[in-house]
């Protein structure tokens, strides 16, 4: 990252062209605005209509309330991991899921960086302590998969720690499956221009500026490194019992609806209204080998 006239200007190689991006400039560059929605091979050129989105979301949220009653009656457990690049929409998707669920048994886990004590423990230990008890619906806003992508790209773990993680994680997830937890892994995928646009939006929104960190800016030139680690993670840790679902998330509305639909279709809960669920958009969500 290079500074020019006191600004934070980044030189980016995108599509064979060198682009200059100044996140402090309140006017978003045309090359970002024009390409954002369709970047990363997103299949739609327009966002889903807001009114249609709200109607569909309400129907799905009613079904999620039914799921919570079912879990409480049966002692069932649901756990979902939300991963993706910074600004992919993980937190917003989780909020849409939990909006009308009882927070006593539907909770979000968003862990900060490990303490000195946690760094001396088995890597998965601090995550396992947050696994669901009977009747709980737990959503991880980032998870142990930090070690598969963010940590090696940013130099926060050693090569040995990374390879050990990649060897161990399939065994952990096999145990989760065998123990009867309803387990979902979701990678929210966005295009490069969309990520830049969302970073810019955060920088200039006084209510969201706290979401933008110096690490986000530092990662802008590591797009291909992230892509390589993401692809290896999806290849090595996708399994029949713990599949990765990839969600095309440039349009947050379509992404949220299809994440919720996917989860509801997979759960055999009492009172399911299949008509209310609607059809899953296979252009937006699918198993990792089919989507990337």
Domain count, the chain: 1
Please give the full DSSP string across 255-267, using - where no structure is assigned.
HHHHHHHHHHHH-
The b/e string for 269-280 (b: 16+ C-beta within 10 A; e otherwise) is beebeeeebeeb
- pLDDT digits 0-9 by tens, 101-115: 999 999 999 999 999
CATH of the domain at 94: 3.40.50.300
- pLDDT digits 0-9 by tens, 137-164: 999 999 999 999 999 999 999 999 999 9
- pLDDT digits 0-9 by tens, 211-264: 999 889 888 999 999 999 999 999 999 999 999 999 999 999 999 999 999 999
Q: Give the Cα separation of 3 and 189 in Å (integer).
A: 30
Closest among 214, 81, 211, 103 to 148, alpha carbons compared: 81
Instruction: Locate all alpha helices (DSSP H) within 219-273, ordered by sequence.
Output: 223-237, 252-266
Q: What range does the domain containing 108 cover?
A: 2-291
Q: For residue 8, what pLDDT is reported?
A: 77
Cα separation of the two ends of the chain:
29
Q: Which helix (H) or strand (E) holds 21?
A: strand 17-22
Q: For residue 7, what pLDDT is reported?
A: 54
Is this structure's pTM higher than 0.85? yes
């Amino acid at each position: 990252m290079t500074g020019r006239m006191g600004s934070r200007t980044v030189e980016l190689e995108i599509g064979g062209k060198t682009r200059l991006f100044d996140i402090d400039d309140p006017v978003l560059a045309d090359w970002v605005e024009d390409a954002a929605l369709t970047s990363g091979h997103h299949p739609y050129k327009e966002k889903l209509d807001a009114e249609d989105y709200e109607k569909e979301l309400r129907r799905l949220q009613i079904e999620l309330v039914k799921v919570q009653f079912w879990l409480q009656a049966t002692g069932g457990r649901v756990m979902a991991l939300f991963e993706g690049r910074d600004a992919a929409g993980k937190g917003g998707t989780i909020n849409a899921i939990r909006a009308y669920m009882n927070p006593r048994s539907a909770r979000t886990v968003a862990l900060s960086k490990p303490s000195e004590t946690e760094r001396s423990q088995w890597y998965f230990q601090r995550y396992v302590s947050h696994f669901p008890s009977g009747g709980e619906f737990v959503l991880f806003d980032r998870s142990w998969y930090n070690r598969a992508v963010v940590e090696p790209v940013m130099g926060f773990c050693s090569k040995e720690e990374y390879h050990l993680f990649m060897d161990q994680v399939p065994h952990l997830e096999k145990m989760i499956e065998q123990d009867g937890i309803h387990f979902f892994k979701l990678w929210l995928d966005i295009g490069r221009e969309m990520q830049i646009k969302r970073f810019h939006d955060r920088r200039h929104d006084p209510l969201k500026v706290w979401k933008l960190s110096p690490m986000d800016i530092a990662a802008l030139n590591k797009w291909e490194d992230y892509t390589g680690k993401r692809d290896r993670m999806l290849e090595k840790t996708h399994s029949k019992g713990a599949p990765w679902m990839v969600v095309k998330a440039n349009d947050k509305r379509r992404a949220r609806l299809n994440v919720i639909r996917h989860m509801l279709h997979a759960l055999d809960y009492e009172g399911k209204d299949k008509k209310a669920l609607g059809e899953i958009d296979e252009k937006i969500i699918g198993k990792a080998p089919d989507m990337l």
